[in-house]
Structure 1
Amino acid sequence: MLRRVFVMLIPAVAAAVLVGCGDSGGDHNAADVTFATDMIPHHRQAVMMAELAESRSDNPDVLQLAAEIRDAQDPEIQTMSGWLEEWGEPVPAEMDGMGGMDMPGMASDQEMADMEAASGPGFDELFLESMVAHHTGAVQMAQAEQADGQYAEAVDLAEQIEQSQSAEIETMEGLLQG
């Protein structure tokens, strides 16, 4: 009798072990992978641009905005990298410059070089114009994730990105006009 119970338990235990070995990333789809894979280098470039502001701008509003961008996007890069690792997908490698990538709003290598060469009000204008375009691209990417994504955490992050970066676009446009 004990042997019979043991023999019947083996398939149940094996099934439980196999379920435990399954995908721990939850339900995700190709749109989620694309969102994270594309948004990571997009965010990295925004962080690079924000770091340029620290040494090239004297405008307290630009400096505060740049710090907020860096502080928001650094942790988001880590979060999205974690998802890709959980899903068994490659995390994009860090690259110098990053210009010419296909994501909407990415600054070209020339635009990055222009920002690196500028300072003061000239830098501020280049930074704000480039970051408005950059954020507009991120909002488009976030909207695509909200429409097509399946992984709840990625869809939630996309919504947060759309809201925060839309607000930052308004702030930057105000600074450009002001």
Structure 2
Amino acid sequence: MTSTRTVVRRAALAASAVTAALVLAACAGGDHADTASGTHPSPSTSADATAVAHNAQDVSFAQGMIPHHRQAVEMAGLAADRASSTRVKDLATRIEKAQAPEIRTMSGWLKAWGEDVPGTDAMDHSGGHGGGSSTAGMAGMMDQKDMDKLAKSSAKAFDSLFLTMMVEHHEGAVEMAEAEKAKGKYAPATDLADDVVTAQTAEIEEMNKLLGKSAG
């Protein structure tokens, strides 16, 4: 009798062990399925999501701001041997140092998105540029007559004209950046737009003060 009970008990224990093992296996499989289903996305999935996390506004912002920045850098480059005010020269240097890297950054975004990067060969200062797109009517852009006039001026005349033109140019950039902040989706682009608004608004105030001193 005892022997029979022992055999039955061992069989029951064995069956319990098999059941427990099956339950554990099922749980483990369930955890894996949750992970695969998106609870913890793979690195490649995250990278793909980041690559497409932008919208048409982000593309428009980058394609418009690149030629806009290029013109500001071109204008600033004239100050080195034309401006008479050291403060104007310092401002121009700061504009170049801030905007040139931003041009490279935005160009990198467009390449990553498979979008056209505005070219430099056909830049005409009237709103058009190379790369197959147009910036006609872009806020703050100078036309060719303005650029020629600035290039031909010097000393105090240059200082006054440069500051007047750059205030208008910066106001256009701020307008474009505000649109990106409101409608853009790509976080690095909206962050750069915020930086543009902050930095260029401060420079507009600085330039208006310099114009006030010149006028006085």
TM class, shorter-length: 0.7 to 0.9
Q: Name which of 45, 51, 70 aligns with 1:44.
A: 70
> What is the rounded CA distance, in whole Å, between the counterparts of 1:128 and 1:69 in structure 2?
12
> What is the rounded CA distance, in whole Å, between the counterparts of 1:131 and 1:156 in structure 2?
23
Return structure 1 stretches of 4+ with deviation > 2 angstroms: 16-26, 95-98
Aligned residues: 164
Could you state the TM-score of these two structures normalised by the residue count of structure 1?
0.86
Counterparts of 1:62-73 in structure 2, within 5 Å, are 62-73=88-99
Matched, 1:108 2:143: yes
Give the match's secondary structure for 2:166: helix
Query: In terms of Rg, which structure is larger?
Result: 2
Q: Name which of 157, 160, 172 aligns with 2:195.
A: 160
Match of 1:4?
Answer: none
> What is the rounded CA distance, in whole Å, between the counterparts of 1:166 and 1:149 in structure 2?
20
Q: Is the alpha carbon distance of 1:28 and 1:175 closer, same or farther for their aligned partners in structure 2, counting shifts above 3 Å?
A: same
Could you list the runs of 5+ residues in structure 1 that have no partner in the other structure?
Answer: 1-11
Amino acid at match of 2:191: D
Summarize deviations over 1:120-147 as a string: whole Å, max 9, x none: 0001111001000000000000000000
- Give the fraction of aligned pairs with identical amino acids, expressed as a percent: 48
Could you list the runs of 5+ residues in structure 2 that have no partner in the other structure?
Answer: 1-35, 37-41, 128-135
142-151 vs 23-32, greater mean Cα deviation: 23-32
RMSD over equivalenced CA pairs, Å:
1.9
Could you state the TM-score of these two structures normalised by the residue count of structure 2?
0.72
Q: Given that residues 23 and 87 in structure 1 are in contact (C-alpha distance below 8 angstroms), is that contact kept between their aligned partners in structure 2?
A: no
Amino acid at match of 2:60: T
Larger relative contact order, structure 1 or 2 (CA cutoff 8 Å, min sep 6)? 1
Q: Is the alpha carbon distance of 1:125 and 1:17 closer, same or farther for their aligned partners in structure 2, counting shifts above 3 Å?
A: closer
